[in-house]
Structure 1
Amino acid sequence: MTFNSDILIHPGLGNSGEQHWQSIWEKRFNFIRVEQQDWETPVCADWVKTLNEYVNRHDPANVILVCHSLACATIAYWAAEHNISIKGALLVAPSDTEADSYPSGTSGFAPVPLTKLPFRSITVISDNDFYVSPERARLFATSWGSEIVNIGDAGHINVSAGYGEWDAGLELLKKLDAGY
């Protein structure tokens, strides 16, 4: 499998470990990981600034962002601030930073922006994600103008939920890469 786009991997809170599908994809396809300064107590403005720097190292029209969890809200804030049209974004397991159950330590990520993204996106959600209810995940995706892909009882779509290689996710990324 080959990709024609510049693929930027953006993990969420805590970064993605070696067995996480994002890390596996990064190594397998030589994708570029967005390296944030602080993975444990992130500040939204800092994450947005770093993401913007990474995107601008490439032709934005050829960039696809692959985001997990808190990175999905980061993309929404980034898009609202910079309004740069990229090729697309794969937004996986968006977390609800406004929920009482959301881990403490993040700053500036609430409320989750509910504005349409200026680029094509696919949001992958689960029916039993402990970081977001299915209703809120659908609200985020619909507000962002995303195609919604519900993969059922998939937890937070991470290693603890059994998502390592995640070939079905690669097929969604390939769809974005092909431009449809």
Structure 2
Amino acid sequence: MIRVLIADDEAMIRSALAALLRLEADIEVVAECEDGEQAVAEAIRIEPDVCLLDLEMPGLDGVEVAGRLSRRISARCVVVTRHARPGVLRRALASGVTGFLPKSRGADEVARVIRTAAAGTRYVDPEVAADALSDERPPLTDRELDVLRAGRGGETTGQIARALSLAPGTVRNHVSAILAKLAVRTRQQAVKHAEERGWI
């Protein structure tokens, strides 16, 4: 029996998916979570075989949840998303995600991907993979992307510096470089630009 945790902030989608997966003879839904923080806490507590995570959740998104869990437990993580942007796929794979697929797929395919992940095999939706191969790399360095990610909630320069163990002046230098490369005026515009392209 494959024990599955589902995390999705949309209650109707979460409960519908859980109901459909419970019809599978070899899958047991052991937890339903409404956000990333709850998913991390529950997954550490019950150690499911597979965590099925929505990408777009308040607080921690699905990729961030997968990254935290990869350091704590052996559960495989499958991320589902309404907008399968190539940059997000790269970030997901770097965080140890085992499966990545759009929400447009049916419950039978989701169940198949859960089985694939539980067996330790990586699955990436073919359309998402093709888009990722044709997508160009972001012009920002990994550290600049870290700065944007750490400040996406409107954090101050000091808060970003503490989160990344950098000096505030270094953060300001990174922000200046980001604004110049993206040709935008504010850090908020840079965050929006990067999120729209799936870089963060």
**TM-score scaled by length of structure 2:** 0.44
Structure of greater relative contact order (alpha carbons < 8 Å, 6+ residues apart): 1
Mark the structure with the bigger radius of gyration.
2
**TM-score scaled by length of structure 1:** 0.48
